[in-house]
Structure 1
Amino acid sequence: MTQLTGVHHIAVMATDVKKHIAFFSEVLGCPLVALFDMHGVDGGLHAFLRLNDHSYFSIVQLPGVAAAPIEIGKTHAGSGAGVSAAGTLQHLAFNVDTPEAMLAMRDRIRDQGVNVIGPIDHGFCQSIYFAGPDHMTLEIATGQNAVDPRQWIDPKTMAAAAISAEEAEIFKNPVAYVGPSPVPQPPYDPGRPHQTFPEAVYRKMLELPDEVISARSSHAEPPVKVQA
């Protein structure tokens, strides 16, 4: 079945990419593995810190970001229970494999002078909570077993979310995609989600064949040449 298998990277905006790199490297122990000019974005800096060989935490610094105001309750939630605008990241939870590793991370973070709340037992996982640069709301969680939907999909909460029993069965069992491939770009539909570009530019992009977009926009060579 074709489905997502994890998170390759999550990118957050930074006023100061060095401050973020220092936090995620020194406080959380994530090695810096990439730092380069952001592909196709003038003045952009792009950093990657390793979580594992297939998953990274990414930081973006762009000109003018410091002028964009942070507003708790709008741009940022400020805590795991806080409100932020629809479509924004409410909080970000990293994984560790065991409760012991979670407590070790708690102690590492506190040793760097950062306050940590927890652990808190949520049943299917245990978590600790803390803040990162630029008012990020962060969590480290661990769970030893897969989440059992029979136990954790609450009929009362389904009703609050306007999800019927029939819809829940569909959501729990997504239909496998078996083709065709490739699928042509669908017609532009304003009722569907879209990236935010000038509309005329975006429509032109949608008209281009995939191979043209790939040829024009790819940057496959690393910035530093390493001798074999």
Structure 2
Amino acid sequence: MTSQSPIKLGGVHHAAYRCKDAKETVDWYERMLGMTYTTAFAEDHVPSTGEYDPYMHVFLEAGNGNILAFFELPNQPVMGRDENTPAWVQHLAFKVGSFDELVAAKAHLESEGVDVLGPTHHGIFKSIYFFDPNGHRVELACDIGTAAQYAELKRVAPLMLEEWSQTKKAPRHADWLHTAANE
């Protein structure tokens, strides 16, 4: 599949989520994940719409120029989540360099009182899962696949999407990801 769009993206500038408390969120991401707090914007009026809605917008460096941002919105109703979407679906996933780093991260988080699920094996990566103080699910993942495995997944991706579109059942093109040989 080749894109027909004339737009050439240069990466993700930032991903923004809501938080309950900006300071608590910054402190947690610094302490738990070693992220660096870089920037904040606070306004009484939303620049894009002009509406009155005071906010604090904080930005944290997640490595390699990737930025995670949060909005604290004190005049809005209490923060909730989409109750029609399972909690495991919407999440933030960050890369770590190795399985040893993943295991060390799990130990650090648990020593800080965070409940951690995993490591979970996904065939070409392993990951752990936990929640931040805002209720956002966070994943740390380390790649373990081979170049041949990634190439095969890229090859079958269009086939899988087409089959899913027609059947709404899991295509079997990549069953090899979950075989005992890959554990």
Does the pair score TM above 0.5?
Answer: yes
CA change 1:18–1:28 in 2 (3 A) is: same
1:33 to 35, 38, 56: 38
Deviation at 1:114, TM superposition (A): 0.2
Distance 1:121 1:32 in 2: 31
Among the aligned pairs, what percent are the same residue? 26
Higher share in strand = 2
Distance 1:5 1:101 in 2: 28
Instruction: Note the 1:92-131 alignment, pairs <5 A.
Output: 92-131=92-131
1:73 to 79, 83, 86: 83
2:60 to 49, 52, 77: 49
Runs of 4+ in 1 over 6 A off after TM superposition: none
Distance 1:39 1:94 in 2: 32
Distance 2:32 2:118 in 1: 17
* Counterpart AA for 2:61: R
What is the aligned length? 152
Distance 2:67 2:43 in 1: 16
CA change 1:103–1:8 in 2 (3 A) is: farther
CA change 1:119–1:151 in 2 (3 A) is: farther
CA change 1:28–1:156 in 2 (3 A) is: closer
Aligned to 2:72: 61
The DSSP-based 3-state class of the residue aligned with 1:18 is helix
Q: Which protein shows a greater Rg?
A: 1
TM-score normalized with structure 2 length: 0.69
The DSSP-based 3-state class of the residue aligned with 1:161 is helix
Aligned to 2:22: 17
CA change 1:156–1:34 in 2 (3 A) is: closer
* Counterpart AA for 2:13: H
Deviation at 1:39, TM superposition (A): 8.8
Deviation at 1:121, TM superposition (A): 1.2
Unaligned runs of 5+ in 1: 81-89, 164-228
What is the CA deviation profile of residues 60-107 of structure 1, one whole-angstrom value per residue up to 9, with x for unaligned ones? 112323x24525523x63224xxxxxxxxx122111122122122111
- Answer yes or no: is the 8 Å Cα contact 1:127–1:141 preserved in 2: yes
TM-score normalized with structure 1 length: 0.57
Aligned to 1:169: none
Distance 2:143 2:8 in 1: 22
